[in-house]
Amino acid sequence: MPGVAVHSSNEVRQAAAGTVTSSKPVEGIVSSRDGDVRSVGGHSTDGRVVVELSDNYVRTIGATGTAARATSRPPPRDSEPALSMNTSIEVEYWVIDTDGKLTTPGALADVSEHTEREFVEPLFELKTPPCETVDELRRTFVDQFETVLSRAAEVDKRLVPLGTPINCDPIALRPDERGRIQKEVIGDDFAYAKYCAGTHVHVEKRNVTDQLNTLIALDAALALVNSSPYLRGERLANSARAYCYRKKSYEEFPKHGQLWRYVDTVGEWRRRLEHRYDEFEAAAVEAGIDEATVAEHFSPDDVVWTPVRLRDSMPTVEWRSPDAALPSQVLRLATELEMVMEEIHHTNVEIEAESDPRDAGHVTADGVRLPAFETACDYAEAAMLDGLESDAVARYLDRMGFSVGDYHPIATRIDGRQYVTKSDARDLRLEYANLLEEDVAELSEALEV
């Protein structure tokens, strides 16, 4: 099958039949919806683009030296069943005692198969299984929370929905070989990660290249749930957690902890993972750790801490940028994110060659348009530093399908101080532990209506 520049549905049919001819050879790619890729020869009438063709999938790719543009063309929505995309949530919460001091999860980590300890002592993670509908996700999340909070009350512990503890005594790593290796490789900067609690949203793998690119473009949506501007009492950014990961922990390993560029194929993403593993392994060996030990605890699937990850083991595409937040905020964000991800399965997805920050990107019934990568990075940076106080970020997220006015990030409520004492930080943790419990109660009541 030849690869050709495609600009109309008629040309798509001709291309599939092999009836389009042109004069200038380029390299083409054929890819399927599940991400399998194989290379073929191809032609383009002008040399600007090549094309991937599969049963219902077309992707045009910029030639060397030009920007990429992608278009996904599935069959009409009414020709296939209206299936929801499986979605799951993982959220990390700080555990405190009745005085607001950080403590270990203890029995909370053993409540169910969906609760567990994290890599630092006072952090606890709650995970949902994959859910087919938003309603199922909401009910599952709330049910899990009610069970955990009931057990927490029995053992005088509480959960705090903040991206950092704001200010506290030094936090210890749990005994863990993987964490030890990371510390040896990354160095002292790895300590910043010990003060971070986040939200991870997993979506079912479908047209994976579009999913990866769209999540990269949507990274600025982290602003919707920023929950702590402070680290060790000092103000860092509207999301101190994102700042810690991107500007501190992985400053010397930017390709391991920052946004990656858009990709043209899943194969390209996997090659990047292999390169990152090789880099990490080399750094570990230099730090005195043998290759076999690295291979025992790491793989290309889990060697990076980038905001967007492809998880073969689950199998999902994962967005890891948001802070920990109130359960209702997490559910709202996951719901609206899932709606965008569902939309890209049924419409055209394009990447702008150049973007005007004033109107870059949109999600409409006519298609999804992603901003140029540099513009997406600018939005993400502003989201981290200024949150929804950035008008450019708020307008962009509105264009991308988020109900910005319905979000009230915790970070905005507690911002405004240059320094927060440990005593004040304990009070804030207690205040937001109260709000979390009230939030879960309200969600539960709404489900009963």
pLDDT in tens, 434-444: 999 999 999 99
Neighbours of 3 (CB within 10 A): 27
Cβ neighbours for 414, distance < 8 A, ≥ 6 positions apart:
166, 228, 229, 230, 428
Tally helices (H) and strands (E) across the chain: 13, 16
Q: Which helix (H) or strand (E) holds 75?
A: none
Integer Cα distance of 364 and 398 in angstroms? 11
Between CA 258 and CA 260, with CA 259 as vertex, the angle to 5 degrees is 115
Integer Cα distance of 422 and 230 in angstroms? 12
Residue 378: band (very low, low, confident or very high) from pLDDT cuts 50, 70, 90: very high
How do residues 201-252 score in pLDDT, each as one tens digit? Answer: 999 999 999 999 999 999 999 999 999 999 999 999 999 999 999 999 988 8
Better-predicted residue by pLDDT, 67 or 276: 276
Cβ neighbours for 184, distance < 8 A, ≥ 6 positions apart:
284, 287, 288, 289
Residue 101 CA neighbour count, 13 Å, CB half: 4
H helix runs in 287-372, sequence order: 291-297, 327-344
pLDDT of 174 above 50: yes
Residue 35: band (very low, low, confident or very high) from pLDDT cuts 50, 70, 90: very low
Cβ neighbours for 132, distance < 8 A, ≥ 6 positions apart:
83, 84, 86
| Backbone φ and ψ of 279, nearest 5° | -65, -45
Which class is 87-448 in CATH? alpha beta
Instruction: Please report, for residues 38, 216, 254, the alpha-carbon distance to residue 66 in angstroms, rounded to integers and kept in the order given.
Output: 22, 20, 25
pLDDT of 30 above 70: no
H helix runs in 287-319, sequence order: 291-297
Question: Are 213 and 196 within 8 A, CB to CB?
Answer: no
Mean per-residue pLDDT of the chain = 84
Least confident of 77-86, 87-96, 239-248, 405-414: 77-86
The b-or-e profile of 125-148 (16+ CB within 10 A means b, else e) is bbbbebbeebebbbbbbbebbebb
Residue 4: band (very low, low, confident or very high) from pLDDT cuts 50, 70, 90: very low
Integer Cα distance of 259 and 99 in angstroms? 38
Cβ neighbours for 369, distance < 8 A, ≥ 6 positions apart:
349, 350, 351, 352, 361, 362, 363
Integer Cα distance of 299 and 315 in angstroms? 15
Q: What's the pLDDT at 59?
A: 37
* DSSP-assigned letter for residue 98: T
Q: What's the pLDDT at 176?
A: 86
Query: Above pLDDT 70, what percent of the chain?
Result: 81
Query: Above pLDDT 90, what percent of the chain?
Result: 73
Amino acid making up residue 283: A
Average pLDDT over residues 251-262: 91
Q: What's the pLDDT at 448?
A: 86
Residue 85: band (very low, low, confident or very high) from pLDDT cuts 50, 70, 90: confident
Burial class (CB in 10 A: 0-12, 13-18, 19+), 23: exposed
87-96/158-160 β-pairing? antiparallel
Average pLDDT over residues 287-315: 92
How do residues 407-436 score in pLDDT, each as one tens digit? Answer: 999 999 999 999 999 999 999 999 999 999
Q: What's the pLDDT at 14?
A: 34
Radius of gyration (Cα) for the chain, nearest Å?
23
Average pLDDT over residues 277-306: 95
Question: Are 260 and 273 within 8 A, CB to CB?
Answer: no
Q: Residue 350: beta bridge partners? A: 369
Better-predicted residue by pLDDT, 312 or 36: 312
pLDDT of 49 above 60: no
Integer Cα distance of 105 and 174 in angstroms? 12
Q: What is the pTM of this model?
A: 0.82
pLDDT of 6 above 50: no
pLDDT of 338 above 60: yes
Where exactly does CATH 3.30.590.20 map onto the chain? 87-448
Least confident of 85-89, 331-335, 383-387: 85-89
Q: What's the pLDDT at 78?
A: 39
Q: Where are the beta strands (DSSP E) in 63-197?
A: 87-96, 115-117, 123-127, 158-160
Residue 23: band (very low, low, confident or very high) from pLDDT cuts 50, 70, 90: very low
Cβ neighbours for 325, distance < 8 A, ≥ 6 positions apart:
91, 161, 163, 199, 225, 227, 333, 409, 410
The b-or-e profile of 370-383 (16+ CB within 10 A means b, else e) is bbbbebbbbbbbbb
Question: Are 95 and 124 within 8 A, CB to CB?
Answer: yes
Residue 173: band (very low, low, confident or very high) from pLDDT cuts 50, 70, 90: confident
| Backbone φ and ψ of 316, nearest 5° | -145, 170
